Structure formats: structure tokens, C-alpha cells
Structure 1
Amino acid sequence: MTVHPLVVALVVRSTEPGRFGTAATAWFARQVERRDDFKLDLIDLAVTPPDSLADRIAAADSAVIVSPEYNHSYPGELKIAIDSVRRPWYAKPVAFIVYGGRSGGLRAAEQLRLVFAELHAVPIRETLSFHQVPSCFTNEGEPVEPGTTNAATTLLDRLAWWARALRDARATTPYPV
């Protein structure tokens, strides 16, 4: 039996050089690319045309959102992008990589969980949170905190389980809208 790789949409609002989100996104993309069970689709919201975003999310089996904490939540342009897609999020697992603020971005993840639950997506429990931005990554783009790579592996293992289960469920029984 052939097992098709799971498409994971890695969604970030900008991959401009010098931005912290760029370092976190590049590192996590490397973690995904080392695996046989995922195929990466990097979606940079700063350059992705809005009309193609829905198609790319529809084609994905799962998503990982990279976001800073902004005013105890996440940036407005990310909210606009998420809301513009709507139906393609249904019955898809979503994970979060967050950073910034005193909470290391965890308040952004809390808010994102609420939004994605309302969109009938399945936010998974595991979240990668980065404190002490930007010093939490080395000059070589690796996390300073011990165990971060193991945490990413756990996140991807759980994301793969949900993505496979939900992909199979969507194929046999369309999600009721």
C-alpha cells in the first residue's frame, strides 16, 4: 500500500531576513523536510496572493501557524488571512509556533485556538513557544533551549496522526457543513 505524504501548510506572515519569525520558520521547515511523512508548503502571507491562499489550505492535510504575540493576541493581518479562507480549514489539524511577549507567545496561541475551533479545525495540544526573542536561536539558526527539537518532533508526530485520521475521514465521509 502506498502512503502519500501529508501536506503541511506552514503559514507565516513574513519571511523577511532579520525577522524572528523567519528564523523560527526556517528551523521548523528543516524539521518537516527531514521527515518522510510530510510534504512542506511554505505560505508567506506577505507574498502569497489572497486568492491562492484558500486553494493552498484546501490542498493541505494540516497547517502550522507561525505567529508573534501582539497585544495579548496575534496580528490583525493573520486574522484577516485566516478568516478569508473559512471552509478549507474544516476538519484539519492546526498547530502553532508562537513567540514574543512575556508569555513567549502563548497568549497568541490561546486566541488562535479559539478561532480555529470556531472554524471547525482541530487545534492540537502541542505548541512551540519561544521566549527571549531573538536570542533563543544561535547564529546558525538552531534553538538554544535544550529539548526544542524533541518538542518539534512530538508536535509533528501528533500533527501527522491527526492529519492522517482526518484526511481518511474526509475522504470517506465529507465533513458536514
Structure 2
Amino acid sequence: MTVHPLRLALLVRNTEPGGFGTVATEWFQRQVEQRDEFKLELVDLAATPLTSLPARIEEADAVVIVSPEYNHAYPGDLKSAIDAVRRPWYAKPVAFIVYGGRSGGIRAAEQLRLVFGELHAVPIRETLSFHQAPSCFGPDGTPVDPTTTDAAGLLLDHLSWWARALRDARAETPYPA
């Protein structure tokens, strides 16, 4: 039996050079590219019209969202993007890479979990969180804390399991609307 790679959409708000989100995104992309089970697609919300976003999410088997925390939540433009998609989120696993604030972005992740639960998506437990964001990565773009790479590996292990299980389930029985 041939096992097709899982299509992983990495959803980011922008990829401006020098921003922490860009540094974290580029590092995470390298982590994903070291694994055979994923085919990665970067979805930059700054360059992707909202009208084409539903099709991009529909094609994905799983999604990882990179988001800062603003005012104990996630940014409004990310909420608009999530709401523009609706049905393609159903029965899709979603993971989060968050940063900012005293919580390291965890409050943004917790609110995103609530939203994705309402959208019938499956937010996975593992989350990458960066406290004191600018000091989390060295000048070479690698995490200062060596356990960060292990945490990313565990996130990808769980995301892979859920993505394969849910892809197979959706293929066998369409998700009820």
C-alpha cells in the first residue's frame, strides 16, 4: 500500500525579514523538511487573498498556525482569515506556534483552541510557545533552548498521527455537516 505524504499548511500572518514570527517560521519549516511524512506549503496571509484561503485549507491534511499574542488574544486579521474558511476546517488537525506577552503566546493558543473546536477542527495538545521571543533564537536561527527541537518533533509526531487518522476517516466517511 502506498502512503501519500501528508499535506501540511503552515499558516503565517506575514514573512517580513527580521520579525520573530519569520525566524520561528523558517526554523519550523526546516524541522518539517527533515521529515518524510509531510509535504509543506507555506500560506502567508499577507500574500494570500482571503477568497483563495478556503481552497488552500481544503487541500491540506493538517495546519500549523504561527501567531503572536496581542492583548491576551490572537490578532484580528488571523480571526478574519479563520472565519473566511469555515467548512474546510472540519475534521482537520490544527497545531499552534505562539509567541509574545508574558505567557509566551499561550493565551492566544488557548483562545484559538476554542475557535477551532467550534469549527469542528481538532486542535492538538502540543504547542510551541516562545516567551521573551527575541532571545529564543540565536543569530544562526536555531533555538537557544535545545529542548525546543524535541518539542517540535513531538508536535509533528502527534500532528502526523491525527492528520493520517482524520484524512483516512474523511475519505471513508464524509464529515457530517
**Aligned pair count?**
177
Q: Hey, what does 2:85 align to over in structure 1?
A: 85
Letter in 2 for 1:93: P
Alignment pair present for 1:100 and 2:131? no
Q: Deviations over 1:8-61 (max 9, x none)?
A: 110000100011100000000111111000000100100012121111100000
Q: Deviations over 1:92-135 (max 9, x none)?
A: 00000000000000000000000000000000000000011111
**Cα-Cα RMSD:** 0.5
Q: Hey, what does 1:171 align to over in structure 2?
A: 171
d(CA) in 1 for partners of 2:171 and 2:158?
20
d(CA) in 1 for partners of 2:108 and 2:44?
18
Q: Hey, what does 1:27 align to over in structure 2?
A: 27
d(CA) in 1 for partners of 2:147 and 2:133?
17
Structure 2 gaps, min length 5: none
Structure 1-normalised TM-score? Answer: 0.99
d(CA) in 2 for partners of 1:134 and 1:55?
34
d(CA) in 2 for partners of 1:74 and 1:121?
18
What secondary structure is seen at the aligned counterpart in 1 of 2:135?
A: coil
What secondary structure is seen at the aligned counterpart in 2 of 1:65?
A: strand
Letter in 1 for 2:122: V
Letter in 2 for 1:7: R
Q: Hey, what does 2:60 align to over in structure 1?
A: 60
What secondary structure is seen at the aligned counterpart in 2 of 1:134?
A: helix
Q: Hey, what does 2:76 align to over in structure 1?
A: 76
Letter in 2 for 1:89: W
d(CA) in 1 for partners of 2:133 and 2:118?
30
Q: Hey, what does 2:160 align to over in structure 1?
A: 160
Letter in 2 for 1:162: W
Letter in 1 for 2:52: S
Q: Hey, what does 2:9 align to over in structure 1?
A: 9
Q: Percent identity?
A: 77
What secondary structure is seen at the aligned counterpart in 1 of 2:133?
A: coil
Letter in 2 for 1:49: P
d(CA) in 2 for partners of 1:73 and 1:12?
16
* Structure 1 runs, 4 residues or longer, greater than 2 Å off: none
Letter in 2 for 1:34: Q
Displacement of 1:146 after TM fit? Answer: 2.1
d(CA) in 2 for partners of 1:157 and 1:128?
13
Structure 1 gaps, min length 5: none
d(CA) in 1 for partners of 2:152 and 2:170?
26
